[in-house]
Amino acid sequence: MSSKTDTLLSLLDGQPVIPVLKIDNVADAVPLARALAKGGLRAIEITLRTADALEAIRRVIGEVEDAIVGAGTILDPRHFEQAAKAGSKFIVSPGVTRELLVAASDSPVPLLPGAITPGEIMTARDAGLDFLKFFPAEQAGGAAFLKALASPFAGIRFCPTGGVSAGNAASYLALPNVICVGGSWVAPDDMVKAGDWAGIEALAREATGLRKA
């Protein structure tokens, strides 16, 4: 594996589920990250889908010592630079482009790019990346599709995201080419809006129990 893959895997530290978070209210970021960390999910992905996402990243990094914060929905080099400057420990993209690969190659921050098709996987592999996001997982064929990729792409590992839930996460984690899964079910919108941090901590503990077979 590449050194950046090693860095990323050390940050995730065997965590089976990576919470994928869309922060609508920046005031929720810190208590949400604290609840997830208490439940065992220290590594989180805050997506750049809202205006306050970068501020949320900065706040969590500054106030939640246990949290390991990554930035998601990175679409171009400008996003990559903004997320890295905000202090993100890892960067997640829904796809892979040449421009994004160049930006990542010039940065110490590891990139987890999305790849679904064999061509996209080969492009990432040629760039030295062997740990990839598989998105949108369920819509692209789910666990059966990922299982079919294991033989032709030996050595490539995935983090399926998109449609992954408490009900199907175990089927992904049972695959030899899956390291972890990403999902938002551990931080439901209604519980975040209600400030039910204890409930979210409980969901995080359940997700932590979904260990690799």
Parallel, antiparallel or unpaired: strands 111-113 and 17-21: unpaired
Q: What is the DSSP string of 143-194?
A: HHHHHHHTTTTTT-EEEEBSS--TTTHHHHHTSTTB--EEESTTS-HHHHHH
Q: Provide the H-helix boundaries in 18-117.
A: 29-38, 53-63, 77-85, 98-105
CB 210 within 8 A of CB 189: no
CA-based torsion, 206, 208, 212, 213: positive or negative:
negative
Q: How many CB atoms within 10 Å of residue 172?
A: 26
Q: Which residues are catalytic?
A: 45, 133
Smallest Cα–Cα separation from 208: which of 183, 177, 190, 189?
183
